[in-house]
Amino acid sequence: MSPLVQFPTSILESKQASEAMEVGFSTGSGHDLEGDIINVDGKNWTVRGESILDYWKYEVLDESFNGSFDMVVTDIGIAYACTTNNSEVYFHTIHQNGTLDSLLVQELSGETTDSCAIGVNNQNRIQIAYDIWDGDNEETGGHIRLARLAEINAVYLERTWHIRTIAE
């Protein structure tokens, strides 16, 4: 049975994709393609040799740490973390070069905390939420606090935390 419509084969042949080149990977990574030219839809693209994986590393921060932590990594590779150790809440910045900056969020007197969560909004504002317990008294229940980092500006001479109890 023949097709109902005859397609001109000369047009089809000119639109067909060229035969793919075989690319060998010696290390199993895309870095092997660095500098090569890839043709996509008639445009030539030069492969760049960079990767977000270049910023990854494994490091034990503190083996004796017995609290909780949460971490978020930005698009440019800066990591922000919060940690707790029952009576204190800390904020940490891990820069791309590996340096670590720490800042006390709140020292709890007579209260304890079990966990924290950190977030960065679309304006790069840091916020940390954490739970607060008034000793071991279950009757008083727990509270949730939210700390928002205020950066150095005309009002604040150093980084400062705005802390609010948002649930009692």
Whether 9 has a pLDDT exceeding 50, the answer reads: yes
Whether 97 has a pLDDT exceeding 50, the answer reads: yes
Q: What is the mean pLDDT of the chain?
A: 78
Residues 107-145: pLDDT tens digits?
988 888 889 999 999 888 999 999 988 766 656 668 899
pLDDT of 88 reads 92
pLDDT of 90 reads 94
Q: Which of 131, 125, 136, 70 is nearest to 106 (CA)?
A: 131
Greater confidence (23 vs 105) lies with 105
pLDDT of 83 reads 92
Domain boundaries, the chain: 18-50, 61-167
Whether 17 has a pLDDT exceeding 60, the answer reads: no
Tokens standing for 160?
């400062």
Q: What is the mean pLDDT of residues 137-166?
A: 86
pLDDT of 15 reads 46
Whether 45 has a pLDDT exceeding 50, the answer reads: yes
Q: Which of 165, 164, 161 is nearest to 103 (CA)?
A: 161
Domain 61-167 has CATH 2.60.40: no
If you write DSSP's letter for every residue of 75-86 in order, what string do you get?
TTS-EEEEEE-B
Cβ within 8 Å of residue 34, ≥6 positions away: 47, 48, 49
pTM for this model (two decimals): 0.62
pLDDT of 39 reads 83
Whether 52 has a pLDDT exceeding 60, the answer reads: no
Greater confidence (11 vs 102) lies with 102
